[in-house]
Chains A and B, each alone.
Chain A
Amino acid sequence: MNLLQRDRPGAPVPAAVAAGAEAGAEAVAAPPTAPNRLRRALAVSEAGVIAALAGLVLVFWLLEPAFLSGTNVRSMLTAVSFVGIIAIGQTLLLVAGEFDLSVGSVAGLSAIIAAWLMTKGNLPVPLGILGGLATGAFVGLINGVLVVHVRIPAFIATLGMLYAARGFIYVITNGYPIYPLPRSVGEIGSADVIFGLGWSFVLLVILAVIADVVLRRTTTGRNLYATGGNEEVARLVGIHTARVKIACFMVVGALAAVAGMLVLADGASGTPAIGTGWELTVIAGVVIGGVSLFGGVGTVAAGIVGMLLLQVVQSGLVVVGVNPNWQTVAVGLIMVLAVGVDIARRRMSLAGGAS
């Protein structure tokens, strides 16, 4: 967990410094002024996107009250769960300064391998799940090593993996779904855990909370931000940036596997198409949430809110009765708009801070 275990009691510290460090927390600072407070509120990365989400929900609800019906809300939350779980990992990876385009294929491959192990492999379901997770993590390891040690740009390395992993699915299945699966798999998929929502939503919430706390509160999280902020600086302060990045690739892979296997359970069938197209949905969503493509900026909470916003737009357009072909156009526009607003906001806060 802690990548920086060093302890040297008795090493000299200037007395003035040590005394200062022990002195309490009564502030050097002047109380924040009003514009300062406003700027800080704007600077909370979640604030803008939460406001946008609330606004969109309101608009769709006013246009069509059925938008907030129990059924529609449940279907939106379920739909966002699968990609949302991957978005958690993608956020961590983006914060560390890399990204992964292979997540959809890895989700599919992990699901298919899990399904294969449970049927042709005659293994018990838990071992099948473990196999799926191991597949995801292993593919993440390969991605990480290619990017960090072989120094292939993440765009190329993970794009290659997108093709290779999808290809493996067809090698294994020959294009036919793996069916039937053990009954318990289908039961996991159709379980009503809470408010009519299944395991996918529950796992999304649990994993997102854990990842958000890790990123905000732990040394590991801090090392991720440092690595994504400036890899050379991170290296110079003693962080093993290669380990950090490879670990993130493995987490993304494992989370993609979780999402893929949840779809497997949901459909009770090992379909070769599982995960197709997810990579772009995930990146679009977290970027809308304000996670920077340049690394070092963003939170898991914001990434998830971004995913929700994307889902709300897609479902909302359908509920309101817009031709579904326009959905894709909307997603594209919103992503570009979100990043544009983000850049403008950052410029404003920089200009304001210069005073």
Chain B
Amino acid sequence: MTHVLETERLGKKFAGVPALKGVDFRLHAGEIHALIGHNGAGKSTLVKILTGVWPAGSYEGAVKLDGAAVSFASPADARAKGVAYVPQEIQVVEQLTVAENLFVGHTGLDTAPRVSFRELRRRAAELLGRLEIPIDPRTSVAALSATQRQLVMIARALTTDPRVLILDEPTASLAGTETDRLFAVLNRLRAAGTTMVFITHRIPEVMRMCDRATVLRDGEKVAELERSDFSERGIVAAMVGREVDHLYPTRSSRHGEDEVLRLEHVSVPHPLHARDVLRDVSFSARRGEIVGIAGVVGAGRTELLSAIYGALPHTGTISVEGAPKRLKTPADARRAGIAMLTEDRKGTGLLFNFALRENITAGNLAGLSRGGWVDRRGEQSAALGFIRSLRIKAPSPSSDVAHLSGGNQQKILLARVLMNAPKLMLLDEPTKGVDVETRQEIYRLILDLADRGVTLLVVSSEIAELVGLCDRCVVLADGQIVDEFRRGEGSEARVIEATTTAVATGAPRP
């Protein structure tokens, strides 16, 4: 049997690290096919190949459309050949009407020197009517709700009459009833014969909507399931795979009993939309405790750390060592003894106009200056000290940071955090994009710091890492705490279950 879309032994490496290892992905005509996997499993790499973002030639293996090999040169090429993509982030042009948004950038109408708005509206009304989406094409997009915008994005993808429609977490920003409306439209599309790939973290949605499912883990296809084989337990088991191994150094000491950090009913509003990215989060951390924050990307993990660090406005109370603190700016947080390692090394971590040395001491000059004069000798020896103690591989303290490896760049930022001598360290994905050896060094550093009484909140997409390293784990989904367990009580399966079975409107577990 031929498949609408299939891949053969699809593989792709980034800087020598395989992201996708020989994946055979098969899509039957007219089905809704779930693509499931935790962060880093290879979903987005696969989708980027299927949509032409990674063009033919940049990967191994083959992509076939209706049985014939195809090579997509660009996203526009993939779209022209019949693969349409609806991104997770809602991307609409707010200044334009629904009709204009539907056809923006698409061929057919924009080849004419003049746009006929009457024709545009007629075709938009026809398309929306076919999908039974009750939106007037003349409405300004700015006036639409999140679901309506999502539906407009789906309709836009359908203007080219694609063979395959790829939906990237279409329900991520929708509430429960809105999801129902979206699903009604998807069901109509399926009835009309459209083949869809449905990417999601939510297993209940897979159970409800999908005909078949492919599960990826560590860049490999670990399961291809028929609807008759669907079970929540089975899918979670496929996503988890290996048990926690002994890659993680174990902690010899116990943490203290006094509370260093307490959050009470902390919420963070979305900067643009009228919803919270973090909702009513309460928990505490003790001296020397390592608390893991698990959850998928977008669950509110970074927002939680940023709120504590004063980098995002929040409501609710944050107390440090028993005293409520006003944390309006990072400067406030640093004064309160809090330091943060960013997830985005290049965007919000390194200063590329500074050498290695100045990157370490950025924000830490108070102890290295007298009357405002920088003690350059002291700065040099501090930098050399960190280069040695953290084993940063760089020619000298005056090296350029742009050309160092990810692991060494991460150590520079860790040195910056350490130099601030915090009692509470917020580490956002401390091992993201670093080599195996550096990973181990970072684990040991985290344990060493905890032994010395530093409290650490660690965000990571690698669940095994959190389960292996942390004294306690807090699991976030949709901005809420959905599970919490102590060392030894949790497992990778428990975290995945908690993150994938949480429904948008669900209440936090007791």
Give the interface of A toward B (CB within 8 A): 1-2, 4-8, 11-25, 27-30, 217-222, 225-226, 228-230, 232-240, 296-297, 350, 353-354
Residue of B nearest to A298 (CB): B353
Offer 8 A-B interface pairs, CB within 8 angstroms, sorted by A.
Answer: A2-B372, A6-B366, A20-B384, A27-B396, A230-B351, A236-B342, A236-B348, A353-B403
* Extra 6 A-B pairs, beta carbons < 8 Å, given A14-B449, A219-B374, A230-B352: A4-B363, A18-B385, A25-B377, A230-B351, A232-B348, A297-B353
Residues of B within 8 A of A11 (CB): 337, 421-423
Residues of A within 8 A of B367 (CB): 7
Cβ of B490 < 8 Å from any Cβ of A? no
Residue of A nearest to B380 (CB): A25
Quick check: B448 and A14 within 8 Å, CB to CB? yes
Quick check: B352 and A229 within 8 Å, CB to CB? yes
- Partner pick for A2 among B353, B369, B388, B395, CB 8 A cutoff: B369
Residues of B within 8 A of A8 (CB): 337, 421
Q: How far is the CA of A354 from the CA of B404 in the complex (A)?
A: 9
Q: How far is the CA of A2 from the CA of B415 in the complex (A)?
A: 22
> When A219-B369, A229-B351 are in contact, do A235 and B329 touch as well, CB less than 8 Å?
yes
Cβ of B29 < 8 Å from any Cβ of A? no
Quick check: B452 and A230 within 8 Å, CB to CB? no
Residues of B within 8 A of A222 (CB): 358, 362, 365, 374
Residue of A nearest to B400 (CB): A353
Quick check: B389 and A20 within 8 Å, CB to CB? yes
Which residues in chain B, 329-377, are within 8 Å of chain A measured between CB atoms? 329-331, 334-335, 337, 340, 342, 347-354, 358, 362-367, 369, 371-374, 376-377
Residues of B within 8 A of A228 (CB): 353
Interface residues on B, range: 35 or more
Residues of A within 8 A of B281 (CB): none
Quick check: A4 and B365 within 8 Å, CB to CB? yes
Residues of A within 8 A of B396 (CB): 27-29
> When A8-B337, A232-B348 are in contact, do A1 and B353 touch as well, CB less than 8 Å?
no
- Partner pick for A13 among B309, B340, B421, CB 8 A cutoff: B421
Residue of A nearest to B452 (CB): A12
Quick check: A24 and B337 within 8 Å, CB to CB? no
Residues of A within 8 A of B386 (CB): 17, 20-21
Which residues in chain B, 92-124, are within 8 Å of chain A measured between CB atoms? none
> When A23-B385, A228-B353, A240-B331 are in contact, do A5 and B366 touch as well, CB less than 8 Å?
yes
Residues of B within 8 A of A296 (CB): 351, 353
Cβ of B261 < 8 Å from any Cβ of A? no
Residue of A nearest to B416 (CB): A237
Residue of A17, A23, A219, A354 with most partner-chain B CB within 10 A: A17
Residues of B within 8 A of A226 (CB): 351, 354, 362-363
Residues of A within 8 A of B385 (CB): 17-23
Q: How far is the CA of A219 from the CA of B340 in the complex (A)?
A: 21
Q: How far is the CA of A178 from the CA of B382 in the complex (A)?
A: 58
Cβ of B63 < 8 Å from any Cβ of A? no
Minimum CB–CB distance from A5 to chain B (whole Å) comes to: 6
Residue of A nearest to B335 (CB): A6
Residues of B within 8 A of A12 (CB): 421, 423, 449, 452-454
- Partner pick for B395 among A19, A29, A237, CB 8 A cutoff: A29
- Partner pick for A28 among B387, B400, B418, B421, CB 8 A cutoff: B387
Cβ of B80 < 8 Å from any Cβ of A? no
Residue of B nearest to A25 (CB): B381
Q: How far is the CA of A239 from the CA of B354 in the complex (A)?
A: 15
Cβ of B504 < 8 Å from any Cβ of A? no
> When A14-B418, A25-B377, A238-B334 are in contact, do A233 and B350 touch as well, CB less than 8 Å?
yes
- Partner pick for A16 among B369, B389, B402, B403, CB 8 A cutoff: B389
Minimum CB–CB distance from A4 to chain B (whole Å) comes to: 5
Minimum CB–CB distance from A25 to chain B (whole Å) comes to: 5
Minimum CB–CB distance from B388 to chain A (whole Å) comes to: 5
Quick check: B402 and A24 within 8 Å, CB to CB? no
Cβ of B4 < 8 Å from any Cβ of A? no
Residues of B within 8 A of A21 (CB): 381-382, 385-386, 389
Residues of B within 8 A of A239 (CB): 331, 363
Residue of A nearest to B381 (CB): A25
Which residues in chain B, 431-477, are within 8 Å of chain A measured between CB atoms? 445, 448-449, 452-454
Q: How far is the CA of A25 from the CA of B390 in the complex (A)?
A: 16
- Partner pick for B372 among A7, A13, A218, A225, CB 8 A cutoff: A218
Minimum CB–CB distance from A161 to chain B (whole Å) comes to: 28
Cβ of B311 < 8 Å from any Cβ of A? yes
Q: How far is the CA of A222 from the CA of B361 in the complex (A)?
A: 10
Q: How far is the CA of A4 from the CA of B363 in the complex (A)?
A: 7
Q: How far is the CA of A287 from the CA of B69 in the complex (A)?
A: 53
Minimum CB–CB distance from B510 to chain A (whole Å) comes to: 35
Residue of A30, A226, A237, A353 with most partner-chain B CB within 10 A: A237
Which residues in chain B, 46-97, are within 8 Å of chain A measured between CB atoms? none
Residues of B within 8 A of A24 (CB): 381, 384
Residues of B within 8 A of A217 (CB): 373-374, 376
Q: How far is the CA of A15 from the CA of B389 in the complex (A)?
A: 10
Minimum CB–CB distance from B350 to chain A (whole Å) comes to: 7
For the complex of A and B, 10 pairs with smallest distance between CB atoms: A237-B363, A21-B385, A20-B389, A29-B396, A20-B385, A1-B372, A296-B353, A11-B421, A229-B353, A238-B331
Quick check: B374 and A218 within 8 Å, CB to CB? yes
Residues of B within 8 A of A25 (CB): 377, 380-381, 384
Quick check: A219 and B418 within 8 Å, CB to CB? no
Residues of B within 8 A of A234 (CB): 351, 362
Quick check: A19 and B389 within 8 Å, CB to CB? yes
Minimum CB–CB distance from A351 to chain B (whole Å) comes to: 10
Q: How far is the CA of A235 from the CA of B400 in the complex (A)?
A: 22
Q: How far is the CA of A15 from the CA of B365 in the complex (A)?
A: 20
Q: How far is the CA of A222 from the CA of B372 in the complex (A)?
A: 10
Residues of B within 8 A of A22 (CB): 381, 385
Q: How far is the CA of A229 from the CA of B374 in the complex (A)?
A: 19
